[in-house]
Amino acid sequence: MKLNKNLAMILLAIYLILAGLEGLGVEFSFLHIITAICALAAGILFLINR
């Protein structure tokens, strides 16, 4: 369970960084897809740990 919590925090950090880059106008071809996947994965891992 500790690994899932750490992984969830890492994914959340990646999501926040990507969301910040999107807010600044940085464009990558798959940025929206990667951001959505990170958000979903982090949310699911947080729910599993509860």
Both tokens of residue 19? 């969301």
What is the reported pLDDT for 50?
Answer: 66
What is the reported pLDDT for 32?
Answer: 86
Instruction: Check the CA dihedral 6-46-19-30 and report its sign.
Output: positive
pLDDT along the chain (50 residues), means of 10: 75 89 85 88 84
What is the reported pLDDT for 4?
Answer: 64
Distance (Å) of CA 9 to CA 1, 4, 18, 25, 48: 13, 9, 14, 25, 13
Phi, psi of 29 (to 5 degrees): -65, -40
